[in-house]
Chain A
Amino acid sequence: MIRPGAGPSATLPLRYLLAAALAFALAALGLPWLAGELAGHYYHPRVVALTHTVTLGWITLTIMGASYQLIPIVLERPVWSERLARWQFVVLVTGIVGMVGHFFIAEWSGLAWSAALVGLGAAAHVTNAALSVRGLRAWTFTARLVALALAGLALTTLFGLALAADRVVKFLPGSFFPTLHAHFHLALLGWVLPIVIGVAARVYPMFLLAPEPRGRPARLQLWGLALGVPAVVAGLLGVPALVPAGALAVAAAVAGHLAWVVEMARGRRRPELDWGLRFALTGAAFLVPATLLGLGFALGLLEGPRVGLAYAVFALGGWASLTIAGMMLKIVPFLVWYRVYAPLAGRAPVPTLAQLSWPAGERAAYALLTAGALALAVAGASGDPGWIRAAGLVLAGGAVALVATLGRVVHHMMPCAARHPAGAVPQANAR
């Protein structure tokens, strides 16, 4: 139970989220520049650097930062140690910058050291989150998926460390690419997917003003991931017969999640969707092509790096990125509002969240990121550098619009803006 008076910190999650947004902009701006490399095989040091900017810098930092806001809300537990979380941020960012940089220049001993730092940061997160949920009395759907995701993060990190060490001293058995694919899928399906669908089950109703989803899809999601992810990973590592069954189980979990998202969207009392929610719902739609392509690979119907790149773009650039962008557009304004305006609420005019936001920027980010992700998946499949560059430019425009939108919100934390809250309340509805 939350101890009354022990309020969660607003600046702790914000630092993660803002660093993540910068990583996203950096990765998106790198897309047009790396179009030539992306037109080749995806295992190119610079493409791998780009991938880790997205997976670690953008996705993982966002999830960790959001966790430090959402653990108190969705699990009703205080964060075990905010000090540890602050140190974790420093260690992680240093490690991620080191990893991306060393991947980029293909320098493997530096990569291993940087990966060790990332491993340390991930261990701090797992420890902090695990101790935060320790003693939880009600293991809700969200709590179970968070636990599953923490196990996935721990295993992904160990796997990544082993891969990094293997670049220096070869010791891992088996072929390289199946091992690499296992690492990728452990991260995507074992860490990102469970935490996103677990938190979505609690947070989407809050923002859509919809009843919390219940029923059979919960079991489908839990068991689909708990059984499917180990099967996919074990299958890729050495028992290929497990891959189709594991992929089907994961696809069933995704179907359960999508059924809930549709149920919540239909049952919502909120008549008009804001851009954050449109991002999240569009992100969910990207799960359909990503899952179909994944099943295609698992069942042996698809192969090759071109379709592989399209699959990764649908999953990381489409589903994960759009969902995260949507959640950022909800979380960041709330944290800024809480930090700057909550102490004034009831005492002086304070803006609403809608008035903190910048709908034109959100609309531009939505249009460009959605179109860019779709175009990049198609261009990646075609392997045409010109098309990849064009799609990358669209995505980069969207990322810049997203960062600018968030920047306008964060600007309220500047002393001059905070000192004159009334000025932040427009006469007309900002939407």
Chain B
Amino acid sequence: MITADETIARLLDEHPALVDFLASYHPHFERLRNRLLRTIMAPRVTVADAARIAGVPPGELLAALRRAAGEPVTDDASPAVAAARPIAGPRPEALARLGERDLVRVDVRDDIRRGEEPFARIMAAVKRTAPGQALVLRAPFEPIPLYDVLGRRGFAHWTERHAADDWSVWFYRDGRGATAAAAPAAPAPAAARAVTLDVRGLEPPMPMMLVLERLDTLGAGEELDVIHDRRPVFLYPQLDDRGFAHETDEPEPGTVRIRIRRRAAGR
């Protein structure tokens, strides 16, 4: 049964037809039709997060999804409300001290409206953001997936909502790593945990960039399952050079899966 903490990626794997339902449910979810944005967002956004992005109560979205999927609508929507991320409070003190020269600004609103991928620009800006500086991201929706991605890199965040389609998020290092504002990543179990990255339908070299970016944050004991639409012959040497072992198989015609893990000897 669909739950509030289920990721959109898993939801759409199990119920592919819900893409159309979500797109028609709220204009914000139109973006799920964009393969690239879906690839980046869907694995990191839960149903509760999606409700918050769209500005609807999580229970309402959950009930609508269950109805669309032909599942019974039970009365368990309220925990989803509790599980939703907290609304940002007043501007943190760490940000109040920063001047304009301490801010790295990146505006991806036009990129997204044109249907272009903003991820590489954002990650390039993240890498330009020195300790003591903050990254100010302007986006047409609340970029909830980035909270986890940058939280793992020690960034806290503070969010401003200017309008329904205009958000600013301030990413900054507060010395404590990911803060309470950012939802903590699920702890990795002792056994190998596979993280799936679906890069099908992306223009080269974006699949390679996304895989290498993701490998950079691959935790101990984690494996990365890359779903591709061809054997990534240019990626293999990069994996070998970086000390990753990989296996490729073809679970169905036209779909290739590459399982990547760190070699025992390290880099």
Chain A contact residues, CB within 8 Å of chain B: 1-2, 4-8, 72-73, 76, 78, 206-207, 209, 212, 269-272, 334, 337-338, 342-343, 345-354, 422, 425, 429, 431
Contacts and interface: CB of A to CB of B under 8 A. Distances in A.
Given A2-B236, A348-B127, A271 B121 contact: no
Nearest to A208: B203
A241 B116 CA distance: 53
B177 to A, nearest CB: 20
B205 interface: yes
Interface stretch (B74-82, B107-115, B158-166): B107-115
Contacts of B120: 350, 352
- Interface of B, helix, strand, loop or mixed by DSSP: helix
Interface string B191-210: 00000000001111110110
Contacts of A338: 205, 234
Given A207-B203, A209-B203, A7 B124 contact: no
Contacts of A76: 230-231, 233
Contacts of B238: 7, 342-343, 345
A2 B231 contact: yes
Given A4-B240, A349-B127, 4 more contacts: A2-B233, A5-B236, A338-B205, A346-B209
B262 to A, nearest CB: 13
A342 B205 contact: yes
Contacts of A5: 236-237, 240
B248 interface: yes
Interface in B207-255: 208-209, 212-216, 230-231, 233-234, 236-241, 246, 248, 254
Which of B110, B214, B238 has the largest count of A CB atoms less than 10 A from its CB? B238
Contact of B209 (A206, A345, A422): A345
Contacts of B123: 349
A2 B115 CA distance: 33
Contacts of B116: 272, 354, 429, 431
A270 B33 CA distance: 11
Nearest to A77: B233
Interface string B165-203: 000000000000000000000000000000000000111
Which of A212, A272, A337, A350 has the largest count of B CB atoms less than 10 A from its CB? A350
Interface of B: 33-35, 110-111, 114-116, 120-121, 123-124, 127-128, 201-206, 208-209, 212-216, 230-231, 233-234, 236-241, 246, 248, 254
Contact of A7 (B206, B216, B237): B237
A354 B204 CA distance: 11
A117 to B, nearest CB: 31
Nearest to B204: A334
Nearest to B33: A269
A35 to B, nearest CB: 41
Nearest to B253: A138
Nearest to A346: B212
A348 B120 CA distance: 11
Contacts of A348: 127
Given A209-B35, A270-B115, A352-B121, A6 B204 contact: no
A5 B233 CA distance: 8
B205 A4 contact: no
A347 B216 contact: yes
A346 B124 contact: no
A422 B206 CA distance: 18
Contact of B208 (A271, A272, A345, A354): A345
Contacts of B213: 345-346
Contacts of A354: 116
6 contacts: A2-B236, A4-B240, A342-B238, A346-B214, A352-B121, A429-B116
Which of A4, A5, A338, A348 has the largest count of B CB atoms less than 10 A from its CB? A4
Contact of B201 (A2, A209, A347): A209
A339 to B, nearest CB: 10
Contacts of A8: 233-234
Given A4-B246, A209-B35, A272 B115 contact: yes
A350 B209 contact: yes
Contacts of A425: 124
* Pairs of residues from A and B, 7 with the lowest C-beta to C-beta distance, nearest first: A7-B237, A346-B212, A349-B124, A271-B115, A346-B216, A345-B212, A349-B127
A236 B165 CA distance: 65
A346 B215 contact: yes
Contacts of B241: 343
Contacts of B230: 73, 76
A7 B233 CA distance: 6
A347 B242 CA distance: 11
A1 B233 CA distance: 10
Contacts of B127: 348-349, 422
A212 B208 CA distance: 21
A315 to B, nearest CB: 29
A400 B75 CA distance: 69
A6 B116 CA distance: 32
Contacts of A351: 124
Contact of A269 (B34, B124, B236, B248): B34
Given A342-B238, A349-B124, A270 B203 contact: yes
A429 B107 CA distance: 10
Given A4-B240, A270-B115, A271-B115, A350 B124 contact: yes
Contacts of B233: 2, 7-8, 72-73, 76, 78
